[in-house]
Amino acid sequence: MPVKRIRSKCCDRCKKNEDVLYRVRIDESRAWIFVCPDCLEQVKPGNSFYQYGGTWKSKKRH
Ligand SMILES: [Zn+2]
């Protein structure tokens, strides 16, 4: 299998490329998705399905 070298991930909601994404569950499908900070602000408030699973960060350049 070819190995993809990707430095950044896409937000599963807005498809924006971000350096920092949050791994969360936001609906009844219980599926883990990655969302950017902007989308997190939109999906988190009052969401009874919301569960936080960690933060993903691309490797920082020095
Ligand atoms: Zn987003």
Asked if residue 4 belongs to a domain, the reply is no
The torsion angles phi and psi of 48, rounded to 5 degrees, stand at -75, -15
Angstrom distance (rounded) from CA 59 to CA 14? 22
In this structure, are residues 22 and 13 in contact, taking their beta carbons and an 8 Å threshold?
A: no
Which pLDDT score, from 0 to 100, does residue 1 have? 66
Distance (Å) from CA 62 to ligand 1 centroid: 26
The torsion angles phi and psi of 40, rounded to 5 degrees, stand at -60, -40
Asked if residue 36 belongs to a domain, the reply is yes
Which pLDDT score, from 0 to 100, does residue 8 have? 80
pLDDT string in tens for the chain (62-residue length):
676 666 788 999 999 999 999 999 999 999 999 999 999 999 999 999 999 999 999 876 66
Asked if residue 2 belongs to a domain, the reply is no
Distance (Å) from CA 37 to ligand 1 centroid: 7
Domain count of the chain? 1
pTM of the model: 0.81
Residues spanned by the domain of 43: 9-57
Which pLDDT score, from 0 to 100, does residue 60 have? 67
Distance (Å) from CA 55 to ligand 1 centroid: 14
Distance (Å) from CA 13 to ligand 1 centroid: 5
